[in-house]
Amino acid sequence: MAAAPQLTNERRNSNMTDAEWQARCDLAALYHIVHHFGWTDTINTHFSARVPGEPNAFLINRYGEMFDEITASSLIKMDMAGHVLGEPGPYNDAGFTIHSGVYKARPDAHCVTHTHTRAGAGVSLLADGLRPISQDVLHVYDELAYHPYGEPATEEECAALGQTCKKGSCVVLLNHGLLTFGPTIWGALQRLYMLERACELELLARQMNAKPVMIEDQVVHAVGERIGAVRDSDAYGWMEWQALVRTVEKNGADFRR
């Protein structure tokens, strides 16, 4: 599908708040960071951000664009009923189901990520999932939730995913992939990064003909408490975010338009 004409910073809707424009720039940057990591599945995964000051609206990618093509003004604005607000454009039906389901169930969620990486999708096929065998998994272990595969793009799946997300912000979508959410875009990304790393190491360990070393329960609990104390703050993932934005900009990403 051809993308609709994009608005430049000077041509953007005069009713758009500065906060929405900043959220658009940050979400567009997230797409370029995910492209930098190689976590894309052509056009078929999606990331979103709730619109500041509009709790019933969120931004998501225009369906058909590759992640390195996405800009602040090309993002689609939607409400929780599936209506496109403002400039029209195509969106992924399953993406709407996933993201609206999380936002309706978790008012504290301001960014939702979803990937189909090989590592994440690989772990999603395992009955026993992630084990406490790496320091990476300890960043997400106490927030892990597992969601059974359901029929995509249905109201039933929207509601069911919302219920699962009440159990944790780092979700393995069984037979599917990964999902995270957080109070900030960089916080959701940091969760996704640690979850992705944990999945990579889990699959690596399962390829070895040896029993993995399990981290002791008291250590798992202690690390979870320490990480949990900062994970919902605006500072969580902020320094990593700044560094990654600099990286993609040095590599030529042009998303603030």
Q: What pLDDT was estimated at residue 5?
A: 34
Report pLDDT for 218: 98
The pLDDT, as a whole number, for residue 238 is: 98
Identify the structural domains of the chain with CATH numbers, from first to last. 33-241 (3.40.225.10)
Q: How far apart are CA 223 and CA 233, in angstroms?
A: 17
**pLDDT above 60: residue 159:** yes
Gap between the Cα atoms of 112 and 158, Å rounded: 14
Q: What percent of the chain is modeled with pLDDT above 90?
A: 93
pLDDT band at 255 (very low <50, low <70, confident <90, very high): very high
Task: Give mean pLDDT, residues 82-110.
Answer: 96
Q: Are 240 and 193 in contact (CB under 8 A)?
A: yes
- pTM for this predicted structure: 0.94
pLDDT band at 3, cuts 50/70/90?
Answer: very low
Q: Which amino acid is at 27?
A: L
Distance between first and last Cα of the chain: 20
Residue 245, pLDDT score: 98
- Alpha-carbon distance of 240 to 37, in angstroms, equals 13
pLDDT given at position 7: 41
The residue among 149, 186, 193, 146 whose CA lies nearest residue 165 is: 146
DSSP state of 86: S
- Give the tens place of pLDDT for each residue, 6-56: 344 544 556 899 999 999 999 999 999 999 999 999 999 999 999 999 999
Q: What is the pLDDT of residue 15?
A: 81
Sign of the Cα pseudo-torsion (82, 103, 19, 92, in order): negative
Tokens found for residue 49: 């951000």
pLDDT at position 251 over 80:
yes
pLDDT digits over 179-209, tens only? 999 999 999 999 999 999 999 999 999 999 9
| pLDDT, position 13 | 59
How far, CA to CA in Å, does 256 sit from each of 29, 65, 107, 125, 207? 8, 16, 27, 38, 43
What is the bridge-based pairing of β-strands 84-85 and 144-147? unpaired
- In this structure, what token pair is assigned to residue 230? 């900062």
Average pLDDT over residues 238-257: 98
Report the alpha-carbon distance of residue 23 to residue 253 in Å, rounded. 17
Q: What is the pLDDT of residue 12?
A: 54
> What is the helix, strand, coil percentage profile of the chain, to 5?
45, 15, 40
